[in-house]
Every structure is written in structure tokens, then in C-alpha cells.
Structure 1
């Protein structure tokens, strides 16, 4: 006798974070939804024995349902491709997406199923990212995920809707904007997306190395891809105008350096003075709401010098890669 088809399939992409995956799976196995009503699909974007062992151990500890299934992902790189593997292997019509670094509340799935009961194509749950009392700029920026309209750390989508838009665009090889791309694809198809405030996942902040915001600028090139795919919705919901401050900072820096090298000392020093003023404004704007600690101040000072030109550099890289002037 074949096993009953679950009501909902949970897709969890993971990449070399077995400790976080273990915590996530433990929370998923404590859901209030009936055990035979859901399955868990672990999509390992960096196939490892550790992740496979965790999935198999979770399956062995559970009497009956939910079944925990493990899939190594080797054809693509990035969470977009991993999620495609997951929902395509899912046995349910309803697909729940979360990440390996979240802790879903016990009633998460039950609330998600209820939100989808009216026949809508998708629902977006609530992401809670607790901030420390003295949050750094990096932590405050990361916590903005909790304000996102549609983030794959906590969304529910019908399998038929995913199939109709082609799932996730696998050109997003990092965890950035792939969820917005799916969101916009669903909206452009005319599908209904509702909030599911009772479906809550906790997303604890992770520690980051010094000036981590510098390396994260590489993700900006995926803004170009999102703009190329959905220019109208990008302007309406992401960025209405180009990044003028970054452009001005970078332009005055280049003008100053080039002028000094060309022997135009007065013009060069004037341009560098404008660059310094704009950079300080950027620095103080970021510092105003974040922790006034030596580490955070130093991190903000270093990253404020680097971020504007580096961000524009990655936009140019994105424009070259995806064949479009950057937004």
C-alpha cells in the first residue's frame, strides 16, 4: 500500500552548515501539523556526508511521518537551483520554503496551510530576527530581512504556480534577489499572494567577520539581473532611482585621483575634498542608529570608504554578465 500524499512539502536548501541544519530539522519535526500531512526535503547545495547523516538520522528518529528526504545538488550552484530540485521532487501541491538557518515556530506549517486554504497561489509568513540592544550596522542591515514582502526563508507557494513561472531563476547563484525574482514572476502572472502572519520563523543573527559588508557587495550584481527580468516592479518595489550617492562618491574620487595624476592639483584636491565630505556623510548616516563601539565604528569607517566604488563595480560586472545597463 503506497504512502498517502502529504498536504505540504517543506524544502530546505543547505550549504555546509550541519549545525544550523540540525537545529532547523529539530524545529520542523516539532510542528503541530499532523505527521502524515507533511514531508521535509533537504537539498544539499554542497553535498556532504554530514548533511546526509543528519537527514537520515532525523528520518530514523521519527515514527511514521514526516518523512525526511535528502537530495544532493550537483547540477547547479546556489539556493535558487537547490530549491528547484526540492520543489520538483516534492509530492505535495503546497510547497513551504525555509532556510537551514531558521527555527520555524511549532505552528508554522499549520498557519501556512490555513493561509493557502482559500485557493491563493502563494503566502508570505513572518520572519523574526531578534536584534541585540546595541546592534551593529551589519546586524541592523541583516535584520531588514524581517521587513521583506516575500522572502524564501518563509513562503508558501503552490507547485502549479511554481511550474507555470519556471520556478527559480538559477542564474542567481548567491542568496540574493532570487526570492524577489520569483515574487515578481508570480505577480506578473496575476497570481494572488497573501500575508500569513501566524506562520512565524525565527531567524537568529549569525556572527560575521570584520567588515563583512564589503564582501557582500558582490551580491549587487544580481540587482542588475532582477532589473533586467522585471524593470517595472524593480522600480516600484526595490529602487525608484539610481544610487546617486554612491555614484557621486565614486565620481569625485576618480576625478580627484585623475586630476592629481594629470598635474591639475587644485581641481584634484577640490574633488577629493568633496569625496571626503560625502564619504563622512555616508559614514555618519550609517553610524547614527548603530552601536557606538570601537569595533563597529572601525568597521563602518573602513567599509564606508570601500562600499560606494565597490558597489558600482559589481553593478558594472552584473551589466556585463547579464547584458544590461545597471539600474
Structure 2
């Protein structure tokens, strides 16, 4: 994927002397370094500078991107991910969007999907509707310096871009759309049950809320996940009823839990793949996600000392 991305970046319409490529590797390995050096050697004669930066101080995209923009020489920084395919006019269009004086611009992200995608694929396509995602973003160096870049406590690829967006807005910066700056973002392959491991990201919701409570409620989530709380509460009532020898209460709790879980399953299956493996995955994960999501959500609230329910 990285090679595919780099092949798109070296074909930008900007003159090679007008931009540089910095590849930040937060899981440094020789294979990646050799790939980047090979492509750098192939384009050095054109005047295009391509650097490989191993990142060991911190893990995650926030730390990697900080290392990248601090290593870069330009006054405008363009961010993308190794699994994207930038359009040839990507950089040209992004710079044009900033010509009016904005401190940052959010480009367009295209996520190709089949007619009946899996739940994971449909969830990944949310990038196309994101207000500001670092899979396609342009930020002036001065603005990054003013807010001290990305918060490296966001160690997963989740909400670190929203945090930067909110920090820029809170500092009085203007963020514009760069609709002609397009990157194609094919969905990465994923293992069965990937949605369960993704629930760990809920902890970072608490961190984002602690830092930007007003903007979080305005732009991310106005209310807590009431359906999750109701589902978990119903399950606990069912278990308590069994332990206390109250079968009627246990039965009511179990029925409510089943109804809410089935509703969640049905919503996730709407317009999605009907492959039997996908149906089985949705059934199993729909039963577990409310518990895991609330666990990580509350764990994040405790870790970051914020009232986030």
C-alpha cells in the first residue's frame, strides 16, 4: 500500500522541486526503509526529496505525524496515509484552497464500496463524510506550531485529527474545504470480528471530550450512547434476577436485552453483505459491542479524569 501511495505522490502536478515527501514509520522496519530509499533514489535526479523517518519515541499516528511535519522544511504541510491514492492534482488543489488565508483545509476522501459492503467496510467509508481527517488535510506550519501539533496521547488512529481540528478552531483558525484535493481511500483488509478490537478507540472519545467538551457535543455526539447503556443494564438485570432466584425479573431483563441486541444487529445489517460469515460475525459482535464499548468508554473517563458517560 505504501508503494502504491508513493507512486501517486511522485506523479503530482507540482514541479518536483516544489514539494518533498516525508514517510514516517512508527513501526520502523528495514523493508519499509529499503522501499522508501529505492523510490527516493529513482526520483532524486528530478529534484524530488523523499525522506524516511523512523519514529520510536511514541507509537500511533499522532506521534508519527508530529515527527513528519517537524522534519519537513515547507511552510505548508499535507497529510495523508499509506493506504490512500492521492490524485495527481492533490497538492496543487490543496495549496489553492489555502490561498485565501485559512490555516488549514480538509480535502475530499473517496472510499469505493460494493453495492452490499460489510459492516466494517461501511464503517470505514465514514471517512468520506468526516469534517477533517488527516488522511487528506493541509495545515500551515505556523498553525501547527501554535497548537503544538498533534496530542500524542492519541496512540490509536482515532480522534487525533478531530483534536487537531478543534485545537485550530479554538485558537481562532479558519478551516476550509478543498473539494478538488482528492484522495482515493480503498478499505484495508480486516480479520473476522474486527469491530470488537475497534471498541478500544472509545477511550479516546473521553480524551477528546475532556479537551473540547463544547465542540465535542456540537460536532461529534450530543448525547451518550443510551441504547448501549440500556442493553447492558437489561443484561445485568437478567443476571441479577437469576442470582437472586427471581425468574420473572430475569426473564424480563433477558427479553429486553435480546430485543435491543436484535435491533442493533438489524440496523447493522441494513444494506450490508448477506454472506453467511458476515451474518454470523454481525450476530456475535452485536451481542458484545455494547459491553466492550462502555467498558473502554468508562475506562477512558477514569484515565483522563473526566465526567464522560
Match of 1:210 among 192, 196, 202: 192
Query: 262-271 vs 93-102, which deviates more?
Result: 262-271
Report what 2:14 is aligned to: 33
* Matched ranges for 1:178-189 at <5 A: 178-189=160-171
Question: Aligned match of 1:109 in 91, 96, 121?
Answer: 91
Looking at structure 1, the residues matched to 55 and 154 of structure 2 have their Cα atoms a distance apart, in angstroms, of 15
Q: Please say if 1:237 is aligned against 2:198.
A: no
Q: Which residue of 2 aligns with 1:54?
A: 35
Match of 1:291 among 252, 257, 273: 273
Do 1:39 and 1:65's aligned partners in 2 also have CA atoms closer than 8 Å? Answer: no
Aligned residue-pair number: 308
TM-score by length of 2: 0.98
User: 1:8 maps to what in 2?
Assistant: none
SS in structure 1 opposite 2:180? strand
Report the equivalent of 1:154: 136
Contact 1:95 1:158 in 2 (8 A): yes
Q: Secondary structure in 2 aligned to 1:70?
A: strand
CA distance in 2 between partners of 1:163 and 1:325 (Å):
30
Counterpart of 1:131 (choices 113, 116, 131) is: 113
> C-alpha displacement at 1:119, in angstroms?
1.8
Q: Is the 8 A contact 1:224 1:326 kept in 2?
A: yes
Per-residue deviation at 1:296? 1.6
SS at match of 2:94: helix
Residue aligning to 2:23: 42
Task: Using structure 1 for the length normalisation, give the TM-score.
Answer: 0.93
Q: Paired residue for 2:145?
A: 163
Which segments of 5 or more consecutive residues in structure 2 lack a partner in the other structure? none
SS at match of 1:117: helix
Q: 4+ runs of 1 displaced by more than 3 Å? A: none
Residues of 2 paired with 1:276 and 1:120: CA distance? Answer: 50
Indicate the residue corresponding to 2:3 in structure 1.
22
Q: Map Cα deviations across residues 93-138 of structure 1 (whole Å, 9 max, x no partner).
A: 0000000110101110110111111221000000000001221111
Q: Conserved in 2, the CA contact under 8 Å of 1:38 and 1:65?
A: no
Verify the 8 A CA contact 2:116 2:271 in the aligned structure 1.
no
> For residues 288 and 42 of structure 1, what CA distance do their matches in structure 2 show?
39
Q: For the residues of structure 2 that align with 1:77 and 1:155, how far apart are their CA atoms?
A: 21
User: Given that residues 45 and 82 in structure 1 are in contact (C-alpha distance below 8 angstroms), is that contact kept between their aligned partners in structure 2?
Assistant: yes
- Match status 1:272 vs 2:254: yes
